[in-house]
Amino acid sequence: MTNLIPWQELPNWVPGEVLQASDDLGWRNVALRSYHYRGQDVVVPAMQDFMLVGYRTGVTPMQRRFDGRWSKETLSPGAASLLTRAQRAYWNWDAPIDVTHIYLSGALVAEVASEMLDCVVSEVTLEDVLRTSDPVMTAAIEAISNEARTRGLGGALYVDSIARGLIVHLIRRYAAVKTAPAPKPGELSPQQKRIIIEFIEANLTTSLDLAVMAAELGLTPCLFARQFKKSFGQPPYAYVMKRRVERARQLLARTDLALKQIAAICGFSDQAHMTRLFRRCHGVPPAQYRRQVM
């Protein structure tokens, strides 16, 4: 599924006052934000991550349409909601509330599920749960919130351990899991492919050399390069360049950023490097392409 939004963009659709955030804490695959919301009628687009909502203050009737079905509950402190990744949902509530969001990456949830089931998990889907009173879930949300507030030593490691235990609980109680066929010999597994695609998309501004990408999957550079080419039909370097050119094309069409800025954002060594590769892919230099589409 395409056009999944990251959690950082959620306020574009659901405006609220940020009360607490883990944005600058260096956590991986787990994030936290707390919001004060007024009553709203909103659409939450399909997100890249799983989202847990813990209710801190305020009591309000809540309606949600999820996968074509409406749910109605009264939400109050101690309750929690679940929203699976890649699922658009409609939310409506009347009264002001304070909530804490925990975001869990699809890669981490699939990794934990694969370890639990001792097989490659291709997809995990959470049930439609608008309201649950789950002490395990609320305790985990509170522990992660406390860590974001106190910023203790080893915080990233501590949060990762809490998140993994929480995911085990979610899979046991609320999830449907699909397993994938075993990868062909010499190829990356579906889980590995998903992880490296997400890693590349999130790190296009960096050098993304072979060793860095291989380390993300725990493989040697030579083995990674061989399995990547067999899985994607092209070497890692060619794939990364293709994604950089595509991101540059999108920015040229949708923004008025200077070409030098776009080259930096997309991870090219300089503007000339971007121009050379862009012309090779699209037949025209970036400036001419922008004039044609703007």
pLDDT tens for each residue of 100-138? 999 999 989 988 988 888 777 778 999 989 999 999 999
Helix pair angle (271-282, 286-293), 10° resolution: 60
Q: What is the sign, positive or negative, of the torsion defined by CA atoms of 182, 185, 190, 195?
A: positive
Exposed (0-12), middle (13-18) or buried (19+): which is 278, by Cβ within 10 Å? buried
> What is the pLDDT at residue 219?
85
Give 2's pLDDT tier (boundaries 50, 70, 90): low
Give 1's pLDDT tier (boundaries 50, 70, 90): very low
pLDDT digits (tens, 9 = 90+) for 16-33: 999 999 999 999 999 999
Q: Please, where in the chain does CATH 2.60.120.810 lie?
A: 7-179
Mean pLDDT of 59-81: 93
For 190-293, the fitting CATH number among 1.20.120.1200, 3.40.50.150, 1.10.10.60, 1.10.110.30 is 1.10.10.60
Q: Please, where in the chain does CATH 1.10.10.60 lie?
A: 190-293
Share of the chain above pLDDT 70, in %: 98
CA-only gyration radius of the chain, Å: 21
pTM, entire model: 0.64
Taking Cα atoms as reference points, which of 175, 189, 239 lies closest to residue 213? Answer: 239
> What is the pLDDT at residue 10?
96
Which helix (DSSP H) or strand (DSSP E) does residue 62 occupy?
strand 60-66
> What is the pLDDT at residue 181?
64
Give 273's pLDDT tier (boundaries 50, 70, 90): very high
Alpha carbons 251 and 246: distance in angstroms, whole number: 9
| Mean pLDDT of the chain, nearest integer | 92
Least confident span in 24-28, 94-98, 219-223, 278-282: 219-223
Contact between 246 and 262 under an 8 Å Cβ cutoff? The reply is: no
Contact between 53 and 12 under an 8 Å Cβ cutoff? The reply is: no
Higher pLDDT, 52 or 112: 52
> What is the pLDDT at residue 154?
94
What CATH code would you report for 7-179?
A: 2.60.120.810
Share of the chain above pLDDT 90, in %: 80
> What is the pLDDT at residue 66?
82
Q: What are phi and psi of 80, to 5 degrees?
A: -145, 155
Q: What are phi and psi of 92, to 5 degrees?
A: -145, 130
pLDDT digits (tens, 9 = 90+) for 145-204: 999 999 999 999 999 999 999 999 999 999 988 876 655 678 898 889 999 999 999 999
